[in-house]
Structure formats: structure tokens, C-alpha cells
Amino acid sequence: MGEENKVTLHGMWLSPYVKRVELALKVKGIPFEYVEEDLSNKSPLLLKYNPVHKKVPVLVHNEKPINESLVILEYIDETWKNGHRLLPEDPYERSQVRFWAVYIQHVMECMLNIFTAEDQEKACEEFYQKLGVLEDGMKNMFPVKSRNIGLLDILIVVAFGACKAQEEVFGLKFLDPKNTPLITSWLNSLLELPVVKESVPPHDKVVSFLRFFKESSSNAQAY
């Protein structure tokens, strides 16, 4: 890869926002260098490339940084037009994908909020309500899914791909085939794809991290 077209991704291995970008790059067949960031000791480069939020992911292309995962995904799709596109060509269809992309992010954030919420029961209720809306929306939007991996596929697999590890540690059922058959079957089919398998963090590593996180949170609340 020539320096004039160098692509670098600054990330953290468990971040779902980073995983979105990593998977998109692999799906599009774009060579890139990955830089693991220690978010407790942020590198000068990370602070230089993302001085506003000081967060990952940051994609650096030709020494130009792009921040925010959804913005990065659109940048990737618009810059590398080889192969299939992550977003539809039709403007209306593209607008619908963008709408549901934002909603999937909201649902994922509601799920992550459960882990730290003081009122876990209320947080779960909010998550399941929004998950039901997403299930209905996907039925209306995608009666027949394409075999190509698009933007919403990436967001779905990253949002819910670690559910089994989360369920093992926190004892909560996030996806139920009875209530969300479309999302569950969609996720399971995506997890069988080689490009997805190589991008999903190892189950045992995720479980270990979540157990550490849970114990640390419990100890903090005890004081």
C-alpha cells in the first residue's frame, strides 16, 4: 500500500464503534493498518487526530483523519466504490438506511446502558421496547435481503454479535427468537460469514473483560 493511499484505523478491540469500521474495511477489501489505543493513556496521535472527542474510532486516509463511526462508514463507501456498495444507490432507499442506522445505534446504546443503569429493570424495558420497533421496521424494509453485506448488516452484527457473552456474564436475555425472529436469524446468518467471524472478538476474551467490568462496577457502587 503506497503512502499516498495509506489507511490507518485507530481503535480499541472491544469497541462496537471501532468494529463497525474494521468490518466495513474488510468487506470492501481495503488494506489498512490497525493501531490499538490505550484509552486510559491516549496517544498523542489520537489526541491530534480527534481533538474534539478524543475517542476511537479514527480513520486516517492520506494523513487526513475522519471521526465518528457512521461518518467513517459513509466516507469509506463514497471513497472506495469498488465492489458492492454499503448504501443503496437510490436516494430514497439510502435515506431509509441512514434512518435505521441511527436507530440501530440508539437501540445498541440502550442495551449498553443496562450494564450501568441504577434501575436495570427500567433500562431493560426501554431496550426491549425499542428492539421491538426495530424488528417491525426491518420487516417492512427488508422483506427479501440481499446476499451482499451492507451498512445495516454491519450495524446489526456489531450491535448484537456479543449478546451471548453479555448474557453469560449479566444473566439477561437480550435476543429471543420468539420476540425478534427476524433480527435473531439475520444475526445468526451474518455470524457464519468468514469475514464476520474474523472480525468478532473472541467469546472468552469478551466474557473475561465483561466479568472484570461487572466486578469493578460492583466494587465502585459499594463505596
- pLDDT cut 90: percent of the chain above it: 85
Q: How far apart are CA 154 and CA 164, in angstroms?
A: 18
Contact 187, 161 (CB under 8 A): yes
Region 141-157: mean pLDDT is 78
Whole-model pTM above 0.85?
yes
Nearest to 78 by CA among 59, 63, 53: 59
Helical spans, DSSP H, in the chain: 16-28, 44-49, 69-79, 91-114, 120-141, 151-160, 163-170, 181-191, 194-197, 203-221
Phi, psi for 120 (deg, rounded to 5): -65, -35
Region 182-198: mean pLDDT is 94
Q: What is the mean pLDDT of the chain?
A: 91
Q: Is 157 helix (H, G, I), strand (E, B) or coil?
A: helix
Confidence of residue 223 (pLDDT cuts 50, 70, 90): very low
The yes-or-no verdict on residue 145 having pLDDT over 80 is no
**For residue 3, what is the DSSP state?**
G
In order of 64, 79, 81, 84, 90, the CA distances from 3 in angstroms are: 12, 16, 20, 25, 34
Strand partners, 131: none
Instruction: State the fold for domain 89-219.
Output: Glutathione S-transferase Yfyf (Class Pi); Chain A, domain 2 (1.20.1050)
Q: Which residues contact 18 (CB under 8 A, 6 or more apart)?
A: 9, 11, 12, 56, 57, 69
The yes-or-no verdict on residue 120 having pLDDT over 60 is yes
The yes-or-no verdict on residue 220 having pLDDT over 90 is no
Q: How far is CA 94 from the centre of its chain?
A: 19
Q: Domain coordinates of the chain in residue numbers? A: 5-77, 89-219
Q: How far apart are CA 191 and CA 25, in angstroms?
A: 17
Instruction: State the fold for domain 5-77.
Output: Glutaredoxin (3.40.30)
